[in-house]
């Protein structure tokens, strides 16, 4: 069995790794998690915006306000 971890431990572990941030609107942002705060405000690097699974935009850095976040997860490796 794997060791259980708190959400806070999970978030600390994934800083610097590729993540998917799903917004309440249904839009996904995929990029490298640069940092986040206690309000779930998120800074991403190498950010891509997906709407209905389709790539819409690419951004260098992006800031996402925490109250718009539905969830954050580790991005599966492509390939």
Mean pLDDT per segment of 10 residues, for the chain of length 79 residues?
A: 78 93 96 93 97 95 96 78
pLDDT at position 6, please? 86
Sheet of 69-74: strand order equals 54-64, 42-51, 28-36, 18-23, 69-74
Predicted structure pTM score: 0.86
pLDDT at position 28, please? 96
pLDDT at position 57, please? 96
pLDDT at position 76, please? 77
CA torsion 1→79→71→34, rounded to 10°?
A: 100
pLDDT at position 77, please? 63
pLDDT at position 79, please? 45
Closest by Cα among 70, 75, 67 to 23? 70
């Amino acid at each position: 069995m794997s060791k259980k971890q708190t959400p806070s431990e999970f978030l600390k572990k994934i800083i610097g790794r590729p993540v998917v941030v799903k917004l309440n609107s249904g839009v996904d942002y995929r990029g490298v998690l640069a940092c986040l705060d206690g309000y779930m405000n998120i800074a991403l690097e190498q950010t891509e915006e997906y709407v209905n699974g389709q790539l819409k935009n690419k951004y260098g850095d992006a800031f996402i306000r925490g109250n718009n976040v539905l969830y954050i997860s580790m991005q599966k490796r492509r390939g």
